[in-house]
Structure formats: structure tokens, C-alpha cells
Amino acid sequence: MLKKSIILFFVFVHLTTYGQWKSHYPENKKNKKTVLSKEKKQDNNIHFNNLFFNGIKQKSLENYDVAIDLFQKCIEIKPDKIEPYYQISLIKKGLNNFSDAKLYSSKTLELKTTNLWHQRNHAEILFLNQDFDNAANQYSEIVKREPKNEFNYYKLADTYIYNQKYLKAISVYDDLEKKKGIDKMISMQKHKLYLQLKDFNKATKCLEVLSNSFPNDLEVLQILAEAYLLTNDKEKAIIVFKSISEKDPKNGQVHLTLANFYRDNGDLDKSFSELKLAFRSDKISIETKLAILSSYLPIINTNDTIKNQAFELSEILKKSDFNNSGMHAIFGDLYYATGNKILAKKNYKKSLSIAQNLQAVWTQVLFLEVEDANYDSLLLYSKNALSYFPSEPLYYYFYGVSCSFFKQFDKSKEALESGIGFVFDNPSLYSEFQSSLADTYHSLELFSKSDSLYEKILQQNPNNIIVLNNYSYYLSLRKHKLERAKEMSRRCNDLEPNNGTYQDTYAWILYCLDDYKLALEWIKKSIKNGSDKSPVVLEHYGDILFRLGFKEEALEKWLLSKSLGSESFILENKIKNEKLLE
């Protein structure tokens, strides 16, 4: 028993002693927690870095929503880290979500970033949000931090300009020029800003300082001369212009400016001399020269001096660029305006041979061909015009009319029926289409269509003289509705008396109604009013005389008709048999 007690006592003492030893060293528990904290912090760093670099990767792959989510998780782990805010602001800026971008870029400054790129990004985002005052503050700080970087000055000046604080922008440019010396781009910008402020004297002073530094810069000199004109200092302006002309005799723009200067001051001879020099310069575009030449059109017939100037400039242009379509078009306009339609047409056609895109030129050619009754050319040019301008009704009209002249009535019908559908807001042209289409229907013996269309035209305009004449004459040829024909023809003659063609129509209708005596009176009127050379009218005259018993006189008229070119087979038989064959 004793032995067992000793063992139990030893165990009890040992356990007690061990328990007391543990209680005397509590720092071992704390050390364990520190180790765990360090491990957790290390895990957080690893997790943060993984998230951040995955975010960078997703951003580069343009998976922006995923990237933003990853950067947000970085912020949750370490809200005091600047870089995730910066990356999100870049993404938001790139997506034009400037308001959100501002929230994140502002955070980078709140966290006391020392990175210049962070500050520059924030300044740019403020600018994009049109928060120009705060953007200017940021760029001012950036200039102080990095005074040797010119880019910073330009960004600050731009911000002031957008905020319409032009004097502050000028001050920034002044600071920059103090560092780098007189600079053309900076001085020109200051010049423009002073113009915005309407401080023309300081604007000019900028250019004077600049021209002193760059005395051979022609662009600066020209702007300086124009600035003098703006301040009404014409004497200084002309001195500078002459200086430019001496340094660069082929500078067409200067000669053009001098031409305007002399013209405005009443020295027209010097003005034209400078204008000719400008026209000889290859530095003035052909478009500018043509615009100047076309300005002569409204005044070209004012006097011979103006006219001669226009054609002298034209000759200069011919030597410089003979194959310009627009140039020949304007030459055509000049000749047309001065009454030389032959040369006008020649130049218009030359223009079309070079380029086919000038619709006005096609139109001019077609009208000139109609005036000359040149139907073969009208047929060709109207057909070609339609291939370039298939919705222009006027070209369908000219093509249809020329086809009718050559008795290609089916083609005429097709062209006129197509073209009339393109006529809008032009009642006169629409009526011409209807009239020509009705004539074509008649020629194709589509009489119901032609009569219906003629009647429709007369309902719209009862005084349409051409339709009154043509419709009544066609009815007489068919011996159809002769009383209606007589009524229309008489109205036509009342509207336009002393017209030999209309008088012949009325005489022929009276003949068809067997009123030979009255028909004779009217055919004599027609002969008196210019129809004495018409084979058709003379044949009608002979027919009327024959009906009245004047057979010898009738034969004389028939023979005269034949001698004037009549190719009527019926006329041949009348002459051969000396009697009417109808």
C-alpha cells in the first residue's frame, strides 16, 4: 500500500507542477497568435496580388467588367492600396464613364499618392467631366512638380482655354516661352487668344515679335499683314505684302491678297496685274481660280474691260490645266453669256469629254442643240446624259422629242412615259411631256390615247396654243370631230393672230368642212404671214384652188410645193393626173 501511495503522490505532484509551469509562461500563446496573424497577412498579400494581376490580365483582354470586379475585391482586402482605384479609373475613363472615373481617381489623391501619373490621370478625368477649375488646379500642381515637361504647360493652357480664361492661358504660354524662347506655335496660339479677347493690338504685337525672330517665315509675315489690315493699318500691311512678294515671287496667295487690296483701294489696274500673277501660280488651286473666274459672269457684259479681263484670265488657265472639266464648263458659261454660242457649245462638249458628272453642262448642251435644231446630236447627248443621270426628267424629254423627230415613235413613247414619272413641282415641264406624249400617241395611231390626253391638257390649260393647233390639225387629217377641231383652231388663231402655221391649220379644217371660199381667205393669210415657202401649205393652197375650179392655179401651187422639197406621193399623182386624189 505504501508503495502505491508514493507513486500516486508523484503523479499528482508532477501534474500540479506541470500545471503551475504552464501558467507562469502565457507569452507562448501570444507567440502562436502572432505567427497565425503573419501567415494570414501573407495569405492576404498573395490573394491580393493574384486578384490584382488577374485584373490587369482581364483588362488587357478588354474583359472590363471582370477586371473591375477583381479590382473591387482587391479594394475589399486592402482599401488603402491606391493601384486598384487607379486601374478602375482608367477603365471607366476608357469607357467614357467619366463621372465614375472621377470617383476612383479622386480616391487616389485622398490616399496621398505621390505618383505623377495618378495625378495626371485625375486631372485629365476632371477635364473630361468639364470640371475645368479643379482640372486647372491639378495641372498647376503638376507643372510645379515637373517644370521641365512642356506637355504639362500645354495641358494647363488647354484647360484654361476650354474654361474661356484666355488671359490665364496666355500667361501659361508666356511662362513656357520664358523657358524655351520664342516659339512659332505658342506665339500663334497667343495671337488667336488675343483675337478672341478682341485685343487686336496685342494680337498684332505677338506676330511682330514672332516675325522679328523668324523674318523669313512667309506664313507669319502673311498673317501679320492680314493683322495689319484688321487694325486698318494699310500702310504696314502693304509693306509686309511687298516683302513677301519679293521673297517669294511665285506665292500666288500673296498676289491674290494684293489683288484684293488694290481693288478695295480703287487701283484696278494693279489689282488685275496681281490677279494675273496669282492665276499663273501653281500654289493657287484650280478651284479657287475657277471661283474667281465665275465671279465675272454676272458682270461680264458691263463693259469691254471686264469682258477682256475674263477672257485673258481664261487664256492663262488654258495654259496651266487644259484638261479640267470645270474649267471648260466655265469657259462655256463665259462664251454663252457673251452670245458666242458656237464656242460655248464647243467648250461644254470638251468639258463632258473630260468628265461626265457636271449635270448643268449636259443641260446647257441639250438646250443649245434644241436651239440649233440639231436633232442628231440632241439624240446622242440626251441618251448619254440619261446614262449618268437616270432620274432627270428633262433628259427623257429631250430624248423622246429627238426620237420622234427621227420617227422612232416606240422609243419616244417609252422615254416620255418613263420621264414624266420623274417630274415634280414643275407644271410647265409636265405639260410639255403630256403634249409630246400625245403627239407620239397620234403618230403611233393610238388615237384614243392621244385624244384623251389632248383633252386632259386643255382642261388644265384651255389656252395651250400648241395643243390647240396640233390637236385640231390631227383631227382634220383623220376627218374626225371637225367641228371640235374648227372651234379649237379658231381659238388658237384668236390667241395668236398672224401666225401662218395656225392660219394654215384653220384653212385646212375649213377645207375638210367643204367651206372652200373661207378656206381660201385663211390660206392666203397664211401665205402672207410667212408660209409661202412651206411645201405643205402650198399643197393645201393648190387643193383649195382646185376645189374652187381654179385648176391651172392649183397646178402651179402643186408644182411650187414639189420644187420646195415636198416628197408627197399623193402630190406626185395630183401633178401627173392634174386632179385631186385624196
Cα 467 from chain centroid?
Answer: 41
Q: What is the pLDDT of residues 275-307, one digit of tens each?
A: 999 999 988 999 999 999 999 999 999 999 999
pLDDT at 38: 62
Cα 389 from chain centroid?
Answer: 17
CB-neighbour burial class of residue 510 (10 A; exposed 0-12, middle 13-18, buried 19+): buried
Say if 565 falls within a structural domain: yes
Q: What is the pLDDT of residues 153-176, one digit of tens each?
A: 999 999 999 999 999 999 999 999
Range of the domain at 574: 533-582
Count: domains in the chain: 1
Residues near 512 by beta carbon (within 8 Å), at least 6 away in sequence: 476, 479, 482, 485
Q: What is the pLDDT of residues 476-525, one digit of tens each?
A: 999 999 999 999 999 999 999 999 999 999 999 999 999 999 999 999 99
Say if 540 falls within a structural domain: yes
Say if 105 falls within a structural domain: no
Q: What is the pLDDT of residues 177-197, one digit of tens each?
A: 999 999 999 999 999 999 999
| Cα distances (Å, whole numbers) of residue 254 to 171, 209, 370 | 33, 21, 45
Say if 552 falls within a structural domain: yes
Percent of the chain whose predicted confidence (pLDDT) is above 70: 92
Q: Is-above-0.75 flag for pTM? A: no
Rounded CA separation 450/375 (Å)? 24
CB 121 within 8 A of CB 85: no
| Cα distances (Å, whole numbers) of residue 384 to 37, 58, 280, 380, 490 | 91, 61, 35, 6, 41
Look at residue 491 and give its three-state secondary structure: helix
Q: What is the pLDDT of residues 35-72, one digit of tens each?
A: 455 655 677 788 899 999 999 999 999 999 999 999 99
pLDDT at 2: 32
- Asked if residue 238 has pLDDT above 90, the reply is no
Say if 569 falls within a structural domain: yes
pLDDT at 260: 87
Say if 70 falls within a structural domain: no
Say if 386 falls within a structural domain: no
Q: Mean pLDDT across the stretch 558-578?
A: 88
Q: What is the pLDDT of residues 523-547, one digit of tens each?
A: 999 999 999 999 999 999 999 999 9
pLDDT at 41: 65
pLDDT at 283: 86
Fill in the DSSP letter of residue 265: T
